[in-house]
Each structure stands twice: as structure tokens, then as C-alpha cells.
Amino acid sequence: MPIWPFLDLQAPEGKSLSDAYLDVYTETYVQAADGSPLQHQDWRGTTICFERRKFGHAFSDSDDYRTHGGHAPELSLERARRVLWIRAVLSGDVSGSNEIYLRRSAVRQDNRGRPVTRQVYLVPAELYIVVLDLRTNGTRRGEWFFHTAYASDATYFHDRAMQEGVQLDVRRGQRKSPSLIGD
């Protein structure tokens, strides 16, 4: 049983399933109904920006996320069904014995040869990863932007994702402690 529920949408008449999930992504993360940009913060108060154009990248399958391979043009239902998990991860919404780790990677080259600093949120119980990029140029320099989110395999998650960079924080669920009166 997953920590958070999956979002199972049906394609409304005249729209594709991809468009239905894009609408949810846009309304949840990108802009309000009046067109104003939505503001998001993680549990540490870090401001996070979302862009509509990132949907295609974040919710399609990669040939190999280990080597930053290309993305397929079609919607990945596995990724799209977890679209609302991003908000839960960033807000630190965990319970029981679950944890979310926040790590900062060293500056490295992206697949286009540009330097990038990433902030990565890792949920071991789900092998789920949310990735943010730090903008290093332009008018939004110094701001964190959503890059992608996906469920990985156990080997990649534990041997690479949990080992890279510097750990910044851990958000732990509240475990219920037994009381002295036996409840």
C-alpha cells in the first residue's frame, strides 16, 4: 500500500489522458484559475517554482534515468498517477515510520554540458525521487525549479541516489508512542 494515493484519471471527452494530467499538474503547481503563478515551499521554507513546459519531461519515461537518456514523447501513466505525490514530498507529509531525505548534489554537468546544482528529495518507502534544479542564469537566478519526479528501482535508489551529494535534512513521520496507561 503506497504512502499517498495514486491519481487515476479518465480522459474527458475531447481530451487526451495526457491533457487531463497536464491540467491537474498546471492547476496544482503552475498557475491559479486567474492565471497568477502559484507559490510553493518545501518543509524548510525553500521556495520552489514550477513551469508548465516541464510536464512533458517529468511525466514521460526516460530511456535510462541513470545516464540521463532521452524521454519518450508519450505520457508515462506510472509517473502521472503520482503527480500529487510531489506536493506531499515537498511539504514533508509523512507518517508512521516513513522518511523523506533531502540531499544537495555537487555542481555537475547536465546532459547538455551545462553546470547544474540539484536538490533531491528521496522517499525510501516508495523508492520515489523528486528533483529540483537551481537556476544559475537569467532573471530567476538563484531560484529552485521543479525538474522531475519518478519511482526508481531499488538498486539505483540505494546505491546511487541515497549516496550522492550532501544530506541536508530528514523529515520523519510521527511514530505513536505507547502511553503509560496502556493505550
Question: For position 72, what pLDDT does the model report?
Answer: 58
Q: What does the pLDDT look like over 122-140, one tens digit per residue?
A: 999 999 999 999 988 777 8
Statement: residue 107 has pLDDT above 90? no
Per the model's pLDDT, the better-predicted residue between 136 and 22 turns out to be 22
Segments making up each domain of the chain, as ranges: 17-168
- The alpha carbon of 61 is separated from its chain's Cα centroid by a whole number of angstroms, namely 14
Quick one: pLDDT band at residue 183, thresholds 50, 70, 90? very low
Predicted TM-score (pTM) of the model is 0.87
Q: What does the pLDDT look like over 159-173, one tens digit per residue?
A: 988 998 899 999 998
Question: For position 63, what pLDDT does the model report?
Answer: 59
| Dihedral, 170, 96, 93, 179 alpha carbons, nearest 10 | -100
Report how far apart the first and last C-alpha atoms of the chain are (Å, whole number): 25
DSSP assignments along 19-61, one per residue: HHHHHHHIIIIIB-TTSPBP-EE-TT--EEE--GGGHHHHTEE
**139 residue type, one letter:** T
